[in-house]
Structure 1
Amino acid sequence: LTSATAWKPSDWLEQITRGLVFVDFHNASESNIDYKVIDLINGIEEQITETSHRRIQPIEEPSYLFEMIKWHYKQNSRIERLINPAESFPIEESYINLAIVDSKEQQGKEKKLRDANQHETIMGTFEDIYGVKTPINVKDIFNTCKEVGKKVLVFGRAGIGKSTFCRYVSHQWAKNALWPEYNLVVLISLRSLTENRYSPLSSGKSYSLVDIVAKEYFSHDLSEEDTSLLRKQLNKRTVLWLLDGYDEIVQNVPSHLQHVFEQLLNTPHH
């Protein structure tokens, strides 16, 4: 271990190592190694003694799990080019243009589109439908929500950037640049809810939200304590769910995943 001044942990690791005593072995030599080992042993014994006399406070939030999810978003910070996936560019350079479309007016124009026969008429009407819109800033997309549970549906043709939008906002949240009112943002690619990835469980059992988050974000099995803490947090209204690819799965949800799919759609904020 190095001294606290020579090494400073960051993100989720800082949550684990905060308050620990460090013994500097960086410049250890044959002449002083025994003294350093004794210092380390004494430090461990002192911490054990202090812990045994200290009332252990229950952990209320799985902070380091949240930090690991943030770390995942920060690492996923580049967008691959469609023509040459080997090339990429920073996700901050991905410009997300959103607009609010009046639903009643849009429905009327969609009916006109369905009734059109000529290709020229269809294309013109399509542009008319999606031309009537009010630009909105990403950070303000929930402002128009009147209900306590805030839900926004992002439309767009294939390849226009809906998935990129989800990656962008989750990355911005991880950098504390967007939606600080949410303690956790969970991006779930609904297209990953397949039978190959989530095989049917034994009779009478079904997947939960915790199961989905654990599989998508953690390479190790969560302890019972972490699972319990995460379950409590996922039920709170300070969690925002980003559900990407709804149009690709809504008609093809495996029967054994239907329950958890409905749970995702019923989350308070998404």
Structure 2
Amino acid sequence: MLFSDTVVHVISPFSRGLLVHFCRVRRTSYTMDGFCLLYLLLILLMRSGDVETNPGPNPAVSNVSDMEFLQLAHDIQPSYYEAVGISLGFSYAQLENILIQKWNNYTNAFLRVFMKWNVMQKPPHSNKRQVLADKLREIDLGGLSDRLLNEPNSTGGSSRLLESQTKPPSGESQTKPLSPELVKRCANDFKFKYRSTVCKIRADPLNPASIVQFKDMYTNLVLLEEHGTEKQMLDYNDILDLKVNGEFPKRIMVQGEAGAGKSTFCAKIAWDWIEGMHFSHFVWVLIVPLREFKQHTIGKIAKSYLAKNNPATVSQITEYIQSNPDKVFIAFDGLDEVSGEIMKYKSCESQSTGQMQLQPSQPSVNSSEACGSSSETGDIGLVDILCSNQLASCPVLVTTRPWRAVEIRSDGDLMKLYTFIHVEGFNRENLSVYIHKYFPKNEDKANQLIQFTRENDVISENMAHYPIYVAMLCLMWKEVGEQKLKEMKSLKTFSQIFKTMIAFLKEHYAQKEVKKVGSPSLLASLKKN
């Protein structure tokens, strides 16, 4: 019975005051007024159960779609691969295995990591979007984290975000752009640097005082451009007319054997820019001898070329290059003279981003000096430039010996970005031009050496093509007496020629310390060396 004395326990969402009132109504329930009040109260109790349950997070918003994972995989820089994977709970070995399975394609590897992480999330109704956004922010990908939270299911956006766009705002991101006057001042500093260093040629490789002007000694080199499996002659004057699918190539690999003239080729580019000839339409031309630098970021290298009173900062230089890639030409000289794999990013001890840095091959340079984190200034590492992860639209030329070019050629995607040129040294005509420049006031001696190089099969076939050997022959021809010249003309084998060259160089070097020829001290010095 509804009005019996049976005790009923009711769990109610109502306040204690309302429940006390209910008890009072219980005592008066035998009256009509009490019955009405009790009836109304029961209706309220029944209605109180009709409360909407907490729906929790909306699955459509908390989940991340496959398209969003694909967009993230495309937008995150390869240098973040290990950081992203480890943040999501994968071991380094697992990440390496995934990358190998995906043939070193970082976009596909990122996508695989995201998909595996998505499956591992438990329970199924967890807010995956928030979790992933938090993980991205922890590794300085704040821009992508914000996009994930603010633009659910968005598939738009740029095709490849720069690292500066994926990091949270900082002091460096607010860099004041270089003024036109300061841009020009930097260009003048670069030109002064090249005039005083890169564009200086030694007539005597062992004598620093034998410097001659670039235009008085430079001789054109034989250049060949690869066309499929064939090579075609390329005139230096036509190098800026190179076209790949209608436009100038953004990555050029210039390869040649040791002493073939690769560094001289870079010096020629610098000289033409200085003199307002070829390459003059570029605002900046940056010539980078790789073996000379410990901090391999383009902004720091360019900054080191500037006068001490030039106020341009590393971040301003980097920002200018990023904002004006079509106005800057970069030439990296001597990729074979630095260590470090291009295609596989390795973590330096002083870095946490996993971005590999090139290191000079010289033993005096340790890895901690060479690593130099680029994240501190927003600067750009050279490997990112070589792989076109950064400055993809900036024209970049790289010189190397053939064995080092194999690493670029072995990657199908990267090889497509490069145009390959070969430096073959001198041909017969250029050889004659060089020798006459070496002996500007002694045409007879120049002609005798030219004749010797043509008559001696060993020299004509194996040495006359290489400027470094020709320079040594010219030096010997200039310094030795008539008797030794006759002996040189009789040489027929490699071993004979090199033995004579080595003996001459030892004597030539020793005479720098002991001036008197034939003196006991000179003879002792020769024996010691």
Question: Normalising by the residue count of structure 1, what TM-score does the alignment of the two structures yield?
Answer: 0.55
Residue 263 of structure 1: SS of its match in structure 2?
helix
Q: Give 5+ residue unaligned stretches, structure 1.
A: 1-57, 107-132, 199-206
Q: Is the 8 A contact 2:303 2:313 kept in 1?
A: no
Q: What does the per-residue CA deviation read over 1:236-260, in whole Å, with 9 as the maximum and x for residues that have no partner?
A: 2210001000122154723625971
- 2: CA distance between counterparts of 1:264 and 1:138? 24
Q: What does the per-residue CA deviation read over 1:31-61, in whole Å, with 9 as the maximum and x for residues that have no partner?
A: xxxxxxxxxxxxxxxxxxxxxxxxxxx8245
Q: Is the 8 A contact 1:190 1:243 kept in 2?
A: yes
**Does 2:314 correspond to 1:220?**
no
1:261 corresponds to:
382
Q: Is the 8 A contact 2:297 2:382 kept in 1?
A: no
- 1: CA distance between counterparts of 2:272 and 2:240? 16
* Structure 1 residue corresponding to 2:258, chosen from 158, 165, 173: 158
Q: What does the per-residue CA deviation read over 1:134-163, in whole Å, with 9 as the maximum and x for residues that have no partner?
A: 332223223223156522211111011111
Cα distance change on mapping 1:232 and 1:176 into 2, 3 Å: same
Q: Is the 8 A contact 2:262 2:333 kept in 1?
A: yes
1:91 corresponds to:
214
**Does 2:204 correspond to 1:79?**
no
* Structure 1 residue corresponding to 2:319, chosen from 232, 255, 259: 232
Residue 180 of structure 1: SS of its match in structure 2?
coil
Q: Is the 8 A contact 1:145 1:151 kept in 2?
A: no
1:105 corresponds to:
229
- 1: CA distance between counterparts of 2:184 and 2:384? 24
**1:233 Cα deviation after fit:** 2.3
Q: Is the 8 A contact 1:189 1:244 kept in 2?
A: yes
Residue 272 of structure 2: SS of its match in structure 1?
helix
**Does 2:284 correspond to 1:184?**
yes
* Structure 1 residue corresponding to 2:242, chosen from 135, 140, 144: 144
Question: Normalising by the residue count of structure 2, what TM-score does the alignment of the two structures yield?
Answer: 0.30
Cα distance change on mapping 1:142 and 1:151 into 2, 3 Å: farther
- 1: CA distance between counterparts of 2:373 and 2:336? 15
**1:100 Cα deviation after fit:** 2.2
Residue 229 of structure 2: SS of its match in structure 1?
helix
What amino acid does structure 2 have at the position aligned with 1:144? L
1:59 corresponds to:
179
Q: Is the 8 A contact 1:193 1:257 kept in 2?
A: no
**1:181 Cα deviation after fit:** 2.0
Q: Is the 8 A contact 2:289 2:332 kept in 1?
A: yes
Q: Is the 8 A contact 2:290 2:332 kept in 1?
A: yes
Residue 211 of structure 1: SS of its match in structure 2?
helix
Q: What does the per-residue CA deviation read over 1:152-200, in whole Å, with 9 as the maximum and x for residues that have no partner?
A: 2111110111111111210221110112221110000111233xxx3xx
- 1: CA distance between counterparts of 2:237 and 2:190? 21
Structure with a larger share of its residues in helix: 2
Cα distance change on mapping 1:140 and 1:148 into 2, 3 Å: closer
Number of residues of Structure 1 aligned to a counterpart in Structure 2: 174
**1:99 Cα deviation after fit:** 2.0
1:70 corresponds to:
191
What amino acid does structure 1 have at the position aligned with 2:320? Q
- 1: CA distance between counterparts of 2:220 and 2:320? 29
Q: Is the 8 A contact 1:184 1:240 kept in 2?
A: yes
- 1: CA distance between counterparts of 2:372 and 2:243? 29
Residue 135 of structure 1: SS of its match in structure 2?
strand
Residue 250 of structure 2: SS of its match in structure 1?
coil
- 2: CA distance between counterparts of 1:219 and 1:161? 29
Cα distance change on mapping 1:69 and 1:102 into 2, 3 Å: closer
Cα distance change on mapping 1:178 and 1:105 into 2, 3 Å: same
